[in-house]
Amino acid sequence: MVDRSYASVTFEKVAPLRVAFTPVEGYGKSQMHERTQLVIKDAQAWAALWKRHSGEPLPPEVDFSKHMVLFATIGDRPVLAYKLAVSDVERIGGKLRVTMVEKTMGRYSLGLAPAAITNAGAAALVARSDDPVEFVEQLFYKR
């Protein structure tokens, strides 16, 4: 319980600014088993992460003097019906907010998902920034 307060309250309208991003193609499934949310700002870290994620030695090219990579995986899931995508990047309150949408089959989906362990992932390029990054997740059920 909180005592009543008569302190003044100031409301401030906050309008997010959309930030342009480019999805990294050929990304879908990951060999990483844990949930991951990273901001990559250099080529060495990108190469190491890409090899761990895909098993491929050469990652997609990125000009890290101009861009950074937003990278996420959802961790192991028991069916193949999961996908992950970056749906939005916004600058709000002094930070970058990255909205990740996890898509899966819903309880009453019309199709059957094959049973297998999978780990979906997504990556996107954005303009390089020193602002803190916040990952926000949304869940989308397909029918």
- For the chain, the structural domain boundaries read 17-142
- The lowest-confidence range among 14-28, 34-48, 60-74, 121-135 is 14-28
What percent of the chain stands above pLDDT 70?
A: 85
Other Cβ atoms less than 10 A from the Cβ of 38: the count is: 16
CA distance 59 to 48: 9
Angstrom distances, CA of residue 132 to CA of 19, 90, 91:
14, 12, 10
pLDDT computed for residue 97 by the predictor: 95
- Tell whether the model's pLDDT for residue 25 goes beyond 70: yes
- Tell whether the model's pLDDT for residue 95 goes beyond 90: yes
Q: Residue 63's pLDDT band (boundaries 50, 70, 90)?
A: very high
In our burial notation (b when 16+ CB lie closer than 10 A, e otherwise), range 79-100 reads eebbbbbbeebbeeeeebbbeb
pLDDT computed for residue 141 by the predictor: 75
Can you tell me the mean pLDDT for 123-137? 94
Q: Residue 29's pLDDT band (boundaries 50, 70, 90)?
A: confident
CA distance 127 to 42: 13
